[in-house]
Amino acid sequence: MAQLSIRSVSKSYGAVQVLDDVSVEVEEGSFVVLLGPSGCGKSTLLHAIAGLNPIDSGTIVIGDRNVTKLPARDRDVAMVFQSYALYPTMTVAQNIAFPLKMRGLDRRTSDEKVAGVARLLQIEPLMSRLPRELSGGQRQRVAIGRALVRDPRLFLFDEPLSNLDAALRTELRAEIKRLHQSIRRTMVYVTHDQTEALTLADKIVVLKAGKIEQTGTPLSLYDDPDNAFVAGFIGTPRMNFLKATVADDGKALLAGEARVDITHLATRLENGRAVTLGIRPEHLDEKDGVTLSLSVDVTEHLGSTSYVHGALASGESVVAERREDQPGFGETITLRFQSTRARVFDGEGSRIR
Amino acid sequence: MARRALFYVGLVLLLLAVLFPLYWVVVTSFKTTRDAFAIPPVWLFSPTLDNYRTVFANRGFLSAFANSFTISILSSALAVAIGSIAAYGLAQQPAELRRSKEKFILSLRIAPALLFVIPIYYLATRIGALNKHWLLIAAYAFVNVPFAISLLITFFDDIPKELRDAARVDGAREFRVFWHIYLPAARGGIVATLILCVLFTWNEFFVALVLTGRDTQTLPVSITSFLTFQGIQWGALTAAATLIMLPMIVLGVLVQGQIVRGMTLGSVKG
């Protein structure tokens, strides 16, 4: 049974449509990430789930209750904010106990629960401090504790790691993942960082300009994107897009000097049609297959591997992974890829399968 | 170097212009009548407490002191209580909704007190409230509310909006968000506003002149009783003035620190 159903939710601010007929089903116990560039409506959607933003139309169901018209306090959700949103005049212990106090829990039960959460998050030594005496990572831990303490039906995370430095972000990301695995609660997580999305999610919902572009598991979005936007947004470095035309009665694509076999596509394309060919940097380092020659501008060495930035004869710029050698500026190298790795998109960016 | 010197000379002149009259009032209050009117003025004299004895012997002055104290504290507390709730509400509204209301509040601050005093006087005479303390408490609260709102809004605006969102998700109703989160976070601002309201009410003369009766006279009105038909009792007058100033100077020093603290407290990120 779905723990959270968002059905045809729309919302606009004046003339700007921030959510346009968005529908998402979230299974009980799963971890769903709302992913998209800034301004895509992902935070608005999260606030709508929490009941902080009213929606114009559509329905939101949590568990078996239609909460569309309910205020935030009656929705039984907990939320972690990007800015931590700790109450500045309360100690850590008081912050964590606040949701319990608002629900009128007696002091003893409340103290026990707060202590339990503190133990789980290893913040016991901080309990009597004020938020301003904590580091960013500690603050976010406390904020997570405040969400955990009430044992809500649904956890919402609004870019919780964006204010932290890179090392801490990785650490807390793993911690959130561990937390989810141990408590198995439904979590909805908003981020613009695709690494967070790929590592944390059971299911990713990619949003752009208030519309869902694609919903799926991290791997399916990576391997089998529905459109050029998702293909480009997921994966670092991003997918290379090359102009191509259909040839040989729809059996091949011509992209510069390369000839890519597309007989594996179910769709038959007419000769001469202009399409876009997408190929990921990590698929350009094969032993054989279609060849492209690249004149190298920059090589980034990442230790275990390298990324080569350069241009094709057509002038299109391409990034390619290089595991064996590290070509320098001005060199011309040959890239090889399997034609089944190529993804084909039409003029509007929709995938041709 | 020359600019620096000029700056300090200017500063000294300014301080003299502001502080000398105060100094003269305080010094005169310790002088005998003869010393007070000596020409050329005497700078060194043997101080006397006679003037203070006269003032403290004056029943009217003592009851005025009590009136001023009660009225300014209660009316300011009322104004801050009403003002903080209104300011909280306004601070949560989107800018375009807020603007017209803020303009209205500002217009209330600009409007001369005369505008309110005459209708209040009329109403008070009709219901026989002219000699009642609550009339003045209500009137001053009314005058102070717009001021309190506009000051408190700036303190509430400094508190991140996410705190309200977080509290609402945590199960708080609007009033509890205000009470548990915003009020403590803006404590410095609340105290500063309260003190500024007390200062204003304590010194206010015009409203008090019109609306006070025999039993409710406040200090600025009562002090005029030293201006008699037989002449002005300068010694007693300056002693009374000194006594009136004293608590406010103490508060003024306090309010400085509180305003600065209030500002920094608000800007601390949750």
Chain B CA closest to residue A74: B171
CATH 2.40.50.140 domain locations along chain A:
240-352
Show the domains of chain B with their CATH numbers: 1-48 (no CATH), 59-267 (1.10.3720.10)
Q: What is the pLDDT of residue A206?
A: 95
Question: What's the gap in Å between the CA of B185 and the closest CA on chain A?
Answer: 6
Q: To the nearest 5 percent, what fractions of chain B are helix, strand and coil?
A: 80, 0, 20
Instruction: Give the number of other CB atoms < 10 A from CB of residue B207.
Output: 23
Using the beta-carbon criterion (under 8 Å), do B162 and A85 form an inter-chain contact? yes
Q: Taking residues A229-256, what's their average pLDDT? A: 89
Please give the mean pLDDT across all residues of chain A.
92
Q: Architecture of A2-233 per CATH?
A: 3-Layer(aba) Sandwich (3.40)
Q: Is A83 on the interface with B (CB under 8 A)?
A: yes
Using CB atoms within 10 A of its CB, is residue B248 exposed (0-12), middle (13-18) or buried (19+)? middle
Closest partner residue to A85 (CB to CB) among B163, B171, B180 is B163
Q: What is the pLDDT of residue B135?
A: 93
B70: how many CB neighbours lie within 10 A of its CB? Answer: 15
Establish, for the pair of chains A and B, how many residue pairs have beta carbons separated by less than 8 Å. 78
Q: What pLDDT is stored for residue B269 in this prediction? A: 38
CB of A188 within 8 Å of a chain B CB? The answer is no
- Give whole-number Cα distances, B154 to A310, B41, B189, B262, B263, in Å: 53, 48, 9, 10, 9
Neighbours of A229 (CB within 10 A): 19
Of A73, A75, A150, the CB nearest to B172: A73
Residue A2 is predicted with a pLDDT of 66
pLDDT < 50: residue spans in chain B: 265-270
Given pLDDT bands bounded at 50, 70 and 90, which one contains residue A57? very high
Å between B98 CA and nearest CA of chain A: 17
Q: How far is CA A65 from CA A62, A68, A189, in A?
A: 5, 9, 21
- Residue B253 confidence (pLDDT): 82
Say which residue, A272 or B168, is predicted with more confidence. B168
Interchain contact A104–B (C-beta under 8 A):
no
CB count in 10 Å sphere of residue A269: 20
Residue pLDDT, tens place only, A10-35: 999 888 999 999 999 999 999 999 99
Looking at domain A240-352, its CATH architecture is: Beta Barrel (2.40)
Q: pLDDT by residue (tens digit) across A322-351? A: 988 888 898 999 999 999 999 999 988 999
CB atoms under 10 Å from CB of B46, counted, come to 9
Numbered ranges of CATH 3.40.50.300 in chain A? 2-233
How high is the pLDDT of residue B131?
86
B207 Cβ under 8 Å from any chain A Cβ: no
Q: What's the average model confidence in pLDDT over A275-300?
A: 92
